[in-house]
Amino acid sequence: MKELKDTLWKAADKLRGSMDASQYKDVILGLVFLKYVSDAFTERRTQIAAELAADGMSEGQVAQLIDDTDEYTGRGVFWVSEHARWDYLAQNAKGLPAMDGQAPKSIGELIDGAMEAVMAANPSLASTLPRIFNRDNVDQRRLGELLDLFNSARFTGQGTGRARDLLGEVYEYFLEKFAKAEGKRGGEFYTPAGVVRVLVEVLEPTHGRVYDPCCGSGGMFVQTEKFLDAHHEDRTAISVYGQELNERTWRMAKMNLAIHGLNANLAPRWGDTFARDQHPELQADFVMANPPFNIKDWARNESDPRWRYGVPPANNANYAWIQHIVAKLAPGGSAGVVMANGSMSSNSGGEGQIRAELIEADLVSCMVALPTQLFRSTGIPVCTWFFSKDKTASEHGSVDRTGQVLFIDARNLGHMVDRAERALSDADIAKIAGAFHAWRGTALTDGKYEDEAGFCYSATLAEIRAADYALTPGRYVGAADVEDDGEPVEEKIERLKAELFTQFSESELLAQVVRQQLGRVS
């Protein structure tokens, strides 16, 4: 699968030409989506034909019944008309010559028509798919070559579910590659999978309404789906709600979720969550979000009822996002939010007072300090806030944690994948989530929670008050225990001094040799 993804990416990259990054992204992801819906449609069509033939129907009867759209849409497969199907496009990858009085059509024009046809036949995709393939800056020859390459890569053969998984992987892979290529702008639509998994594994969203007020390309929802599949839970047990400010990103999210079979309500169009909340009545069971950090220019209204714990400052929206998310929680709901580290201790613009009010309302359940360099797009250190409307012993956990907050210092976890980016392993994510679930007493853990010096600590509200409501985990977890090697401190100091002086002497001798050799050269 990696070889396939790499091959497709290299081929797609050749098409870049004179397109700007955002248009190029739309072209490639649009093709991936069209390839998926067409392959899934063709596979379902083959299944229907086989089922009808098995019932003893003639070829003529099969031909009459095989175009029943309900047989496709009822199985979660989009209807694709004849000239929008991949086989037709692949056969005409060099364009359609003039015929029967019709003007010739480029492959880009044919693809634009296919996108229009798919949206017209499937109302849930209205205004979603790109129609930019016939523009002057799209190299039609390379577009046709890319179509040929995609044509040789079958994403079906093991059922539409497997096709969805494979295409979903390719789509996510491309999203990640585009995010890395676009640098800082990439962070606007992509959150590293490891960071998203921390939220998902801690919250365990297995049922109810799941919401993301700044959903980007839909990564929170995709990881939720993967969590459900991994735990053999019914993916239809959740309802997905999201909102996104950027039009192109909103379209990406719609396609991404469609490929993953998630019926999401991302509102009829994109929009600013602060200026116009498109899910005003929603009370969510789970909220997961990675809002843009430290926004200075945002739609601030001092009388907004969401500011229950204090009006956020005009020059920073961090606590506006936090309060919006808390306002969206249903009774018993929980949330996980990625934030800049400054949010844990800032006192400017009244943020300290808002944080104190949130803590005194006993809404904060857990704070996690994450390692640096998880986001290629920013060097800002990040943390995750977890909120809970119910910390009592209940369905959320067998241990009553009222009046307590769990602090986890995970800054030493992760590994560098290259010079610029760090990633969290499965074991790292399990360590963070495991500590939370042990603390909460959930069914996922067998053992009891214990504080671990340097990693996790359960603090009382009194301790947090004493720290002036700062929520930085390092203040609470202390230093990690150092294993005693049995050597007395005084002896260790003398030994290390002797070793250091020996190294100094060796360094001086080496310097003399180097000077002698240089003297001979001159």
Q: Are 367 and 410 in contact (CB under 8 A)?
A: no
Domain shared by 146 and 258, yes or no: no
Q: Is residue 445 part of a domain?
A: no
Specify if 333 maps to a domain.
yes
Cα-only R_g, the chain:
28
| Per-residue pLDDT, 445 | 64
Output the domain CATH number for residue 335: 3.40.50.150
229/139 same-domain check: no
Write the single-letter amino acid at 166. Answer: L
Within a domain: 460: no
pLDDT at 262: 86
Angle at 271 between CA 267 and CA 275, to 5 degrees: 120
In a domain, 29, yes or no: yes
The CATH number of whichever domain residue 84 belongs to comes to 1.20.1260.30
Residue 419 lies in a domain: no
Is residue 406 domain-resident? Answer: no
pLDDT for position 158 = 47
Phi and psi dihedrals of 212, rounded to 5? Answer: -135, 115
Q: What local confidence, expressed as pLDDT, does residue 36 receive?
A: 87
Nearest residue to 110 via CA among 137, 68, 82, 73: 82
How far is it between the farthest Cα atoms of the chain? 98
Domain residues for the domain of 76 are 2-178
pTM of the model: 0.84
Distance CA 180, CA 418 (A): 12
- Both tokens of residue 234? 């019914």
Residue where a domain stops, chosen among 398, 432, 456 = 398
Q: Are residues 314 and 388 in the same domain?
A: yes
Residues 209 and 152 in one domain: no
Q: Do 100 and 223 have their domain in common?
A: no
Other CB atoms closer than 10 Å to residue 75's CB: what's the count? Answer: 12
Amino acid present at 487: E
Is the separation of the CB atoms in 190 and 219 below 8 Å? yes
Verify that 208 and 335 share a domain, yes or no: yes
Distance CA 332, CA 395 (A): 9
- What are the residues whose beta carbons fall under 8 Å from the beta carbon of 226, sequence distance 6 or more? none
Domain tally, the chain:
2
- Structural contact between residues 348 and 355, judged by C-beta atoms closer than 8 angstroms: no
Sheet holding 284-289, edge to edge: 264-265, 238-242, 208-212, 284-289, 329-340, 382-388, 364-369, 404-409, 456-460
Given 373, 398, 423, the domain boundary residue is 398
Domain finish residue from 398, 417, 442? 398
Same domain as 392, residue 325? yes
Cα gap 93→331, rounded to integer Å: 55
Per-residue pLDDT tens listing for the chain (522 residues): 677 777 777 777 777 776 777 778 888 889 989 988 998 898 899 999 999 999 888 888 888 889 999 989 888 899 999 999 999 999 999 998 877 777 889 999 999 999 999 999 999 898 899 999 999 888 899 899 888 888 776 555 544 455 556 777 888 888 888 877 776 666 667 888 999 999 999 999 999 999 999 999 999 999 999 999 999 998 889 999 999 999 989 999 999 998 888 889 999 999 999 999 999 999 999 999 999 999 999 999 999 999 999 999 999 999 999 999 999 999 999 999 999 999 999 999 999 999 999 999 999 999 999 999 998 777 788 999 999 999 999 888 899 999 999 999 999 999 998 888 899 999 999 999 999 999 999 866 666 899 999 999 999 999 999 999 999 999 999 876 655 566 676 777 877 788 788 888 888 888 887 788 777 776
Contacts of 210 (CB under 8 A, 6+ apart): 220, 221, 224, 238, 239, 240, 241, 284, 285, 286, 287, 288
- 162 with 23, same domain: the answer is yes
Residue 451, domain member (yes or no): no
